[in-house]
């Protein structure tokens, strides 16, 4: 019912999981990552405690394969489980229980493992592995996405498509990327789109966040300026211009440079939203026509 890839980047030490399935919210139940320790995808008839305990064991120094064997030994329903993992040294392992739904299987290589069940065919995981290997010069998030796209193109989940996620950790205890698509007709393609936006908007912000081995600092000024802009005006943004821009320009008659406008919108967004709500009220049936003008108390009427 799921196809996934777990991977370790030997160049950066990053760990990541990408996964897709025909069940909602796969990103909330399958991927588990602990920086400097390992990455796990627990799937089929999911047992999250397999992933949790495997990470605990790898943190104590057990290799990936040994950790996997130990946690499966304690699960009496292991025939229903599928799990792939990789430790922080790139030692990968995978398990596909004999009671998983066809087609199911896995493929393990240096620094990564791919696995899937309830798939159209074996081509899903073999295509994922090939795409991941061929993208060796790319960063980990991009390699994971390319693998997922190849798996989907080769058939993916035989029931259809519903959710997908991409999680990557570096040295910090927070994620570099944790992107999720839920209840979507083409979740892997949507994950690609969201990743493109995140590269331009989220990644620069995360790069400026405090580090556990360094002093806490403010984000770079250019990142602050970008994120003060409404989403449609940022790099990679799309869609219509937010309504508050019209309120500022048309109602208040204020024409500001973009950076000042963004700062004011951020500060007064709730007020502007309320003004818009009040202006759109239709009280015709219960009250004579009312014109709401918040600037009236501040205007000086010309003397007669």
The model's pLDDT over 240-286, given as tens digits with 9 standing for 90+, comes to 434 444 555 554 556 666 556 556 666 666 676 677 667 666 665 56
Name the residue with higher pLDDT: 215 or 24.
24
Domain presence at residue 223: no
CA–CA distance, 21 with 36 (Å, rounded to integer): 27
- Final residue before a domain boundary, out of 175, 207, 239: 207
217, part of any domain: no
pLDDT-above-90 percentage for the chain: 64
**Distance in angstroms (rounded) separating the CA atoms of residues 178 and 31:** 10
Domain shared by 139 and 57, yes or no? yes
Q: Is the pLDDT of residue 301 over 60?
A: no
Omega within 30 of 0 (cis) for the link into 21: no
Q: Span 151-177, mean pLDDT?
A: 95
**Judging by beta carbons within 10 Å of its beta carbon (0-12, 13-18, 19+), is residue 237 exposed, middle or buried?**
middle
What is residue 59's predicted lDDT score, i.e. its pLDDT?
Answer: 97
| Range 264-272 contact pairs with CB under 8 angstroms and sequence separation of 24 or more | 265/228, 265/230, 266/228, 269/244, 272/244, 272/247, 272/248
Residue 115: per-residue pLDDT: 98
| Tokens 């995981």, located at residue | 125
**Does the structure show a pLDDT above 90 at 138?**
yes
For residue 215, tell me if it sits in a domain: no
Q: Report how far residue 2's alpha carbon sits from residue 31's, in angstroms, rounded to the nearest whole number.
A: 12
More confident: 237 or 92: 92
Residues across the chain: 304
Nearest alpha-carbon partner for 124 in 1, 40, 31, 3: 3
In terms of domains, do 182 and 85 share one? yes
**Mean pLDDT for the stretch of residues 139-167:** 95
Reported as a single tens digit per residue, the pLDDT across 47-77 is 999 999 999 999 999 999 999 999 999 999 9
| Residue 46 C-beta-side C-alpha neighbours within 13 Å | 20
Classify the C-alpha dihedral 86-163-197-263 as positive or negative.
negative
Q: Using an 8 Å Cβ cutoff, are 157 and 1 in contact?
A: yes
CATH number, domain of 120, equals 3.60.20.10
pLDDT digits over 4-47, tens only? Answer: 999 999 999 999 999 999 999 999 999 999 999 999 999 999 99
Q: Is the pLDDT of residue 152 over 90?
A: yes
Q: What is the average pLDDT across 215-231?
A: 83
Enumerate residues 6+ apart whose C-beta is below 8 A from 201: 226, 227, 231, 234, 235, 236, 237
Mean pLDDT of the chain: 86
- Give the CB-side neighbour count of residue 63, counting CA atoms within 13 A: 8
Whose tokens are 């065919």? That residue is 121
User: How many domains does the chain divide into?
Assistant: 2
For residues 176 and 46, membership in a common domain is answered with yes
Residues 193 and 283 in one domain: no
3-state secondary structure of 169: strand
Cα–Cα dist 160/155, whole Å: 9
Domain extent for 184: 2-207
pLDDT > 80? residue 90: yes
For residue 215, what are its two tokens?
A: 């002093």
pLDDT in tens, 116-130: 999 999 999 999 999
Torsion angle defined by CA atoms of residues 270, 275, 281 and 287, in that order, rounded to the nearest 10 degrees: 130
Q: Within this chain, do residues 172 and 267 fall inside the same structural domain, yes or no?
A: no
The answer to the question of residue 37 being in a domain is yes
Whether residues 54 and 118 share a domain: the answer is: yes
User: Per-residue confidence at 239, pLDDT binned at 50, 70, 90?
Assistant: very low
> What is the rounded distance in angstroms from the CA atom of residue 22 to the CA atom of residue 35?
28
* CA within 13 Å, CB half, 48: 8
Residues 93, 113 contacting (CB under 8 angstroms): yes
């Amino acid at each position: 019912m799921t196809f996934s890839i777990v991977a370790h980047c030997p160049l950066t030490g990053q760990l990541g999981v990408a996964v897709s399935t025909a069940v909602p919210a796969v990103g909330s139940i399958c991927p588990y990552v602990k920086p400097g320790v390992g990455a796990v995808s627990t799937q089929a008839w999911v047992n999250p405690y397999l992933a949790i305990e495997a990470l605990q064991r790898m943190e104590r120094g057990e290799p990936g394969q040994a950790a996997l064997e130990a946690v499966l030994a304690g699960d009496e329903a292991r025939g229903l489980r599928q799990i792939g993992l990789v430790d922080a040294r790139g030692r990968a392992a995978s398990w596909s229980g004999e009671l998983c739904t066809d087609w199911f299987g896995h493929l393990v290589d240096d620094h990564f493992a791919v696995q899937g069940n309830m798939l159209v065919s074996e081509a899903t995981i073999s295509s994922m592995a090939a795409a991941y290997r061929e993208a060796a010069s790319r960063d980990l998030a991009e390699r994971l996405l390319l693998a997922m796209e190849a798996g989907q193109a080769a058939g993916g989940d035989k029931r259809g498509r519903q959710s997908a996620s991409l999680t990557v950790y570096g040295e910090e205890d927070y994620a570099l990327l944790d992107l999720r698509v839920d209840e979507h007709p083409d979740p892997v393609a949507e994950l690609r789109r969201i990743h493109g936006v995140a590269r331009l908007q989220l990644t620069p912000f995360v790069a400026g966040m405090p580090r556990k081995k360094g002093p806490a600092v403010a984000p770079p000024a250019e990142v602050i300026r970008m994120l003060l802009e409404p989403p449609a005006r940022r790099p990679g943004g799309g869609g219509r211009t937010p309504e508050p821009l019209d309120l500022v320009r048309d109602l208040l008659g204020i024409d500001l440079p973009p950076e000042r406008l963004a700062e004011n919108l951020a500060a007064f967004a709730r007020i502007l939203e309320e003004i818009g709500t009040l202006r759109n009220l239709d009280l015709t049936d219960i009250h004579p026509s009312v014109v709401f003008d918040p600037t009236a108390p501040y205007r000086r009427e010309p003397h007669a």
